[in-house]
Amino acid sequence: MSASEEIPSPLPQDKACVFTPEKLLEIGSRYARSMNLSADLFDDAVQEFAVAVLQAERKQPHAGSGYLINAGKWAVLNFLKKENRLREFAEAAVDVSDEEVLDNETADPFHQLLQSADFLKLKELYLALPRQERLIIRRVIFDGLFLRDIANQLSMNRHAVRKTLKRALGKLRAEFLPAESLSG
């Protein structure tokens, strides 16, 4: 092999330009400007872009610059989605009080049920269920536990808990819904 012959590089050609943090911040700034972001989101979006590109480069050292830039863009889009969800949640929490929710024309269905005669019938049916079925319904619906957690607490198989829940809800439906359909 002569000295004039070049040894081919195993890395892609566009990988030759390694991104410096300053270069990533500059590219991230251009991307954020192209999206017309507000000043309060701009710096965070640029930072998300740079961090995502650096993380992608560590995970995929042989990836091309196009892949790395797209990783930064995806990170900015995910950041903006998360920020939008947080802002919507914060606005909803500030704008509506509990009294307004209850006084609203479309009242909470659970609140309406508590005020109806059907609630008394449902309560009676629920209390008529065996203790274990009531316990499982309460832990799933009111406590928000997963079936596997209930199974661990009750020293049962998860599938047995699921069957018990299904059977109990079936009993409630069978007793409660026929009267509902006749009156409606």
- Residues 23, 29, 32, 34: is their CA dihedral positive or negative? negative
Residues 89 and 54: their CA atoms lie apart, in Å, by 31
In a domain, 1, yes or no: no
In a domain, 5, yes or no: no
E-strand ranges in 5-105 read none
Q: What is the pLDDT of residue 8?
A: 41
The verdict on 75 and 47 lying in the same domain is yes
In a domain, 56, yes or no: yes
The verdict on 113 and 48 lying in the same domain is no
- Number of domains forming the structure of the chain: 2
| Residue where a domain terminates, one of 32, 63, 95 | 95
pLDDT score of 2 more than 50: no
Q: What is the pLDDT of residue 21?
A: 82
With residues binned 3-state (H G I as helix, E B as strand, rest as coil), the percentages for the chain, rounded to 5, are 75, 0, 25
Mean pLDDT score, 59-75: 84
Between 75 and 122, the higher pLDDT residue: 75
Output the six-digit token pair for 100: 């307004």
The verdict on 126 and 164 lying in the same domain is yes
| Residue where a domain terminates, one of 60, 95, 130 | 95
Q: To which H or E segment does residue 49 belong?
A: helix 39-59
DSSP 175: H
Mean pLDDT score, 152-167: 90
The verdict on 18 and 88 lying in the same domain is yes
The verdict on 60 and 125 lying in the same domain is no
Q: What percent of the chain has pLDDT over 70?
A: 71
The verdict on 57 and 123 lying in the same domain is no
pLDDT score of 88 more than 90: no
Average pLDDT, the chain: 75
| Residue where a domain terminates, one of 65, 95, 125 | 95
The verdict on 86 and 151 lying in the same domain is no
In a domain, 149, yes or no: yes
Q: What would the pLDDT profile of 24-54 be if each residue is shown by its tens digit?
A: 889 989 988 998 888 888 888 899 898 888 8
50 Cβ neighbours under 8 A, 6+ residues apart: 21, 24, 25, 28, 72
Q: Evaluate whether 66 touches 14 at the Cβ level (below 8 Å).
A: yes
| Residues spanned by the domain of 44 | 13-95
Residues 157 and 85: their CA atoms lie apart, in Å, by 37
